[in-house]
Amino acid sequence: MKHILFASILLISTLASAQNKNKILTVGTFHFHLVKYQLGVDFNINSKDNQEQLDEIIKQIESYKPTKIFVEWEFTKQDELDNLYALYLKDQTFELIRQHYGPNETKYFESEIQQLGFKLALKLGHNKLYAFDYLLNEPNDTLMAAIQKADQTELMHEIQKDFGEYGQTLISKFQQEKSIKNLLLFFNGKELNDQLNNGYISLFNKVGSTDDFSGAYFVSERFRRNLYMFSLIQKQIKKTDERILVLVGAQHAAGFKDFIRDDKNLESVELESILK
């Protein structure tokens, strides 16, 4: 009888815990306004076809019914994000924003924050999007100096090879794939996520001599940034926020996977279950 009672209590506790979790959909994105600059590939988010594709993607994510939307905007500049969204609410053509910031400042009207986040927030009737980015000065120069000082020529070649192949994979993907939905699914797929995470431990963590931990420090700073960003998300989630949406660069999204898994208050929702 005691065993049955204990099992019943455990089952009720487990069900209650599952019901109390906030669902979280993390969409790892590429930066819409930087594709040509970063990869040298023509990509125009404002083209008729891409806008139609975005409308369909937004419609499908809308079915998830996000109750709070987080975007990769610097947390200390929440007021700027609020003002930017207010301009968009006045004019969904982004013309007011172009006039305010200038036509060359595309991060204010062509990035995934506006093209996905703002448009979705408007459809859902949200009056605010939430910033969570936290910038750090990553020690790239220190890393390169440590490799040279330790004479890690082979490791340098391996880093160049791996990241060269990664870059070429992205270029080829954008050249061959014209579906934004498929691009987003690619950036959120396990294969790319593993590749993004593995490189830091497999390669960069080994940089430096046995008494020089420049590589480990570089990795820890990347981890620290992700951890701080995720902390800012956690601190802005209320129990009543049933369904969270996070729009963030794919590299950060890959790092968030373990955080979400280890947070007992969150339940991960996979993008592939939303985009059909």
pLDDT tens digits along 181-215:
999 999 999 999 998 888 899 999 999 999 999 99
What confidence tens digit (pLDDT) does each residue in 78-130 have?
999 999 999 999 999 999 999 999 999 999 999 999 999 999 999 999 999 99
Residues with Cβ within 8 Å of residue 191, at least 6 apart in sequence: none
Tokens of 176: 């061959």
Inter-residue contact 139 to 214 (CB < 8 Å) = yes
pTM over 0.85: yes
Q: Is 149 helix (H, G, I), strand (E, B) or coil?
A: helix
Average pLDDT, rounded, for the chain: 93
Q: How many angstroms separate the CA atoms of 245 and 70, rounded? A: 6
Report CA 85 to chain centroid distance, whole Å.
Answer: 20
Residue type, 53: Q
Give me the pLDDT at residue 196, please.
85
All structural domains of the chain with their residue ranges: 22-273
Angle in degrees, CA 265, 267, 273, rounded to 5:
165
